[in-house]
Structure 1
Amino acid sequence: MKYEKRNLWDRLLGKQDIKPLPGETSFQMMSGYTPVFRAFGNDPYASDVVRSAIHAIATNAAKLKPKHIRRTKDGITHVNGPLEKLLSLRPNELMSTFDFIYKIVTQLYLNNNAFVFIKYGPTGQVEAFYPVEASHIELVESQDILFVKFQFANGRKIVAPYEDFVHLRRFFAKSDLFGESNADALLPTLELVKTADEGIINAVKSSAFLRGLLKFTGMLKDKDIRANRDSFVKDYMDVTNNGGIAALDSKSEYQELKNDPKMVDSKQLDLIQDKVYRYFNINKAIITSDYKEDQWNAFYESVLEPIAIQLSLEFTSKLFTSGQQGSGNEIIFEANRLAYASNTTKFSMIRDLMPLGILSKNEAREILNLSAIDGGDEFIQTLNVVGADKANQYQLGEKDKLKGGETDDEEDESTSE
């Protein structure tokens, strides 16, 4: 694909000469805070502990499937239209859906704010979605319209209406529009991680330092001292000295220097890392992919499901008008959480739900990671379960039948008499 030799944002928004907008004023927040966001300047993503935690969350969140649905009184209808195709395949020419969601979630957890620009075509149709990674963000008002100004690391600036952006937040507390920065809460823990890592590095380096003194009783020239030292090291301190024993005469004496470098032990190191993991609401089992079913379910409900709900609500709000939302249009991000369940759980669910007509054959096969089959969309149901109205009819019919049988018997007995 051939690209124009222009900045991406120039192609999307046109070449902008950033000047104050007509009647521009800072957006007035009820909390009194200035509507300005600055990225965490010390780059927590440089820490392997932070990166592994965010990567585990973003990788699993990227498995969410965007869908366009419509809720009506008749039920839920899947709308397999261009909007869903765009979101579920390639939201923009540079990213797959997996990369797109991964980047959004990574920015959300790094900055506690994530912005996605919605590009509209000439007729108002959505053409693409672009995550925005800026170092400085400011909200301003102009002629009763809320605008967002972005400044990137290279100094480039853009401005566009706030309604053209999907905006996700985390730690949404003091500001009316922005999530809180990670700096004050996370930086002290990252300093501990850095100090622990440096302690390990210094301990390794110190092992190569001076380990002993070779003392000579006589007066020797400097070159003779060095020659005797080198000879001693070569003969007795080389790795080929399998015996591990050195022999010295009365002219020299070897004095060992005890080298006992201090470093953080494994328990302390785990405690420091766990502080970071707890900050991101995740544990080591998820990061190392060594989790059990209950651990995965807890991770899904506490981390992934809130992300899915947040994505669904924000995309629905920004992509559909009030009338379209009133007609039941929604964008949802769903996940097959059963993919990580144990086989025992999967078999139990199929055994319990299929007889009730809740799962089709293909849905049951999907739970077991099997491909769909022809005719597999039909539902089967055991005759041992029946609707409540049918059960009432059945029971009333049996009573009437029993009562009628008793009358017939009585008539037979009177006839015989």
Structure 2
Amino acid sequence: MGLFDKLFTKQAQEKRLVGEYFETLTAYSPVFTTYEGGLYEMELTRAAIHSFASSCSKLTPEIQGKAYKNLEKTLQFRPNPWMDTSKFIYRLATILSVNTTAFIIPLYGKDYETIVGYYPLLPQRTEMIDVNGEPWLRYSFSNGKRASIELSRVGVLTNYQYKDDFFGDGNSSLMPTLKLLDTQRQGIEEGIKQSAVLRFMAKLGQTLRPEDITKERERFSQDNLSSDNKSGVLMFDQKYSEVKQIDSKPFIIDAEQMKLIHTNVYNYFGVNESILQNSYTEDQWNAWYEGKIEPFALQLSLVMSNMTFTSNELSFGNSIIFTANRLQYASNNTKLQVSTQLFDRGILTTNQVMDIWNMAHVEDGDKRFIRREYTEVNKLDYDKGGENIADSKEQGISESTNPATTDTGEEN
């Protein structure tokens, strides 16, 4: 049994493979086709996508509520038998960036109702069809196989969704920049080749036929420019009126043009050189997280919650969320301040502080501690034993001022 058969049951493979397109609000057909234009084959665009997907792969899934609580460890370690959580999220983020649409299908148990895992799907073509008034997704794969599944069971992530009611609009707006990138690469390659190949220019003193010129060039090169010429001396006869060496200079593309092309890619993917080269500062990371990672985490949380829980379960607070420990990317000074200020106030446990420093948990590390000199404002007049200090002081003063007792101990 192959991967396809494990992802889709026989019923899902065969059911409703023929049907009408689902009617949408727009005039566009609800059909999605995987882009094959080479977006992921460009070095700069792949680097931008990789940075985004790598950052997203560090997200931690958590299940809130009691429904499907047993799925939490599955989500945190191995959402499906073929990939761990990091690869699962990385591939989702990559597919979403390249195709502007990504699909998550649930893996069911033997009853075809109980969810036991999730898989990121990459079909070649996806159509939305009408099955008795309910929208279904019909997938076609490059190996010729097809399968259908209810839209309500599938998680759909989108970018740049405008024209279509269900799918993203693709990356066609980036095509002019991709063409410039390819032209730039070819220009550099050809420029380097030409500057490296032409070393001498020779002017013949007589007219020769084209085929004779070719033979003479080969003879001249063999006699003077090959490794057989161990003397290092260039010799030529009166057939040549002039022979001079060409000063080869490295081909350099216009820096401003290169910067403009790169800036277009950075703006489109929301990255910069610091993010791509992993040299970002704490503030740059926070801006990167707020602008790119958090929106993806929020959409993924909503999509997976809606495909996993019923409306009734959602109303009782059940959800799947993806979070990141942003303090792991803070400076050591910021980590130290947060750790010391929040730990001794009972806000963070020892293990939570260890998480900030990316260290292993310790035994009894879930306890909370607080400094003893802190107390509630309305209890400032009580000592540690709960006795009212103000009353004791007042009683002491009255006893010391009792007229029946003097400092000498004599009675009046």
Q: Same fold (TM over 0.5)?
A: yes
Identify the TM-score tier after normalising by the shorter chain.
Answer: 0.7 to 0.9
Q: Measure, in 1, the Cα distance between the counterparts of 2:381 and 2:363.
A: 36
Deviation at 1:196, TM superposition (A): 0.5
Larger mean CA deviation between 10-19 and 365-374 belongs to 10-19
> Please, which runs of 5 or more residues in structure 1 have no aligned partner?
71-76
Deviation at 1:191, TM superposition (A): 0.7
Whichever residue aligns with residue 328 of structure 1, its letter is: G
Q: Measure, in 1, the Cα distance between the counterparts of 2:269 and 2:36.
A: 19
Whichever residue aligns with residue 102 of structure 2, its letter is: A
Deviation string, structure 1 residues 31-87 (Cα, Å, up to 9, x no partner)? 4443222333413111121111111111221121211122xxxxxx8x894311222
Cα pair distance change 1:142/1:245, threshold 3 Å: same
Partner residue, 2:18: 20
Among candidates 311, 326, 339, match of residue 315 of structure 2: 326
Whichever residue aligns with residue 95 of structure 1, its letter is: M
The answer to whether the 8 A contact 1:39-1:181 is kept is: no
Cα pair distance change 1:59/1:265, threshold 3 Å: same
Q: Measure, in 2, the Cα distance between the counterparts of 1:219 and 1:9.
A: 75
Partner residue, 1:206: 194
Cα pair distance change 1:244/1:412, threshold 3 Å: farther
The answer to whether the 8 A contact 1:196-1:263 is kept is: no
Cα pair distance change 1:198/1:222, threshold 3 Å: closer
Among candidates 66, 76, 83, match of residue 88 of structure 1: 76
The answer to whether the 8 A contact 2:274-2:280 is kept is: yes
> Does residue 1:340 correspond to 2:329, yes or no?
yes
Q: Secondary structure at the match of 2:48?
A: helix
Deviation at 1:189, TM superposition (A): 0.8
Alignment coverage as a number of residue pairs: 403
> Does residue 1:386 correspond to 2:375, yes or no?
yes
1:298-313 equivalences under 5 Å are: 298-313=287-302
Q: Measure, in 2, the Cα distance between the counterparts of 1:368 and 1:196.
A: 44
TM-score normalised by the chain length of structure 1: 0.82
Larger mean CA deviation between 336-345 and 218-227 belongs to 218-227
Whichever residue aligns with residue 349 of structure 1, its letter is: V
Among candidates 122, 126, 129, match of residue 133 of structure 1: 122
TM-score normalised by the chain length of structure 2: 0.83
> Does residue 1:296 correspond to 2:294, yes or no?
no
1:51-70 equivalences under 5 Å are: 51-70=46-65
The answer to whether the 8 A contact 1:356-1:381 is kept is: yes
Partner residue, 1:188: 176
> Does residue 1:44 correspond to 2:39, yes or no?
yes
Deviation at 1:277, TM superposition (A): 2.2
Deviation string, structure 1 residues 167-208 (Cα, Å, up to 9, x no partner)? 11112333332222111x111111111110011111122124
Q: Measure, in 2, the Cα distance between the counterparts of 1:19 and 1:170.
A: 28
Q: Measure, in 2, the Cα distance between the counterparts of 1:167 and 1:221.
A: 69
The answer to whether the 8 A contact 2:101-2:167 is kept is: yes
Q: Measure, in 1, the Cα distance between the counterparts of 2:260 and 2:360.
A: 44
Q: Measure, in 1, the Cα distance between the counterparts of 2:3 and 2:86.
A: 27
Q: Measure, in 2, the Cα distance between the counterparts of 1:120 and 1:156.
A: 20
Cα pair distance change 1:269/1:224, threshold 3 Å: closer
Q: Secondary structure at the match of 1:381?
A: coil
Deviation string, structure 1 residues 312-355 (Cα, Å, up to 9, x no partner)? 11111111112222222221112222222222121111111111
The share of aligned pairs that are identical, in percent, is: 32
Partner residue, 2:353: 364
Partner residue, 1:179: 168
Whichever residue aligns with residue 67 of structure 1, its letter is: E
Partner residue, 1:74: none
Q: Measure, in 2, the Cα distance between the counterparts of 1:239 and 1:267.
A: 41
Deviation at 1:218, TM superposition (A): 7.3
Q: Measure, in 1, the Cα distance between the counterparts of 2:174 and 2:202.
A: 49
Cα pair distance change 1:150/1:223, threshold 3 Å: closer
Deviation string, structure 1 residues 110-152 (Cα, Å, up to 9, x no partner)? 1111111113224421123222212322223332312112223
> Does residue 1:151 correspond to 2:151, yes or no?
no
Whichever residue aligns with residue 115 of structure 2, its letter is: V
Whichever residue aligns with residue 281 of structure 1, its letter is: G
Cα pair distance change 1:349/1:166, threshold 3 Å: same
Larger mean CA deviation between 348-357 and 168-177 belongs to 168-177
Q: Measure, in 2, the Cα distance between the counterparts of 1:227 and 1:148.
A: 67
Deviation at 1:392, TM superposition (A): 8.3
Cα pair distance change 1:239/1:268, threshold 3 Å: farther
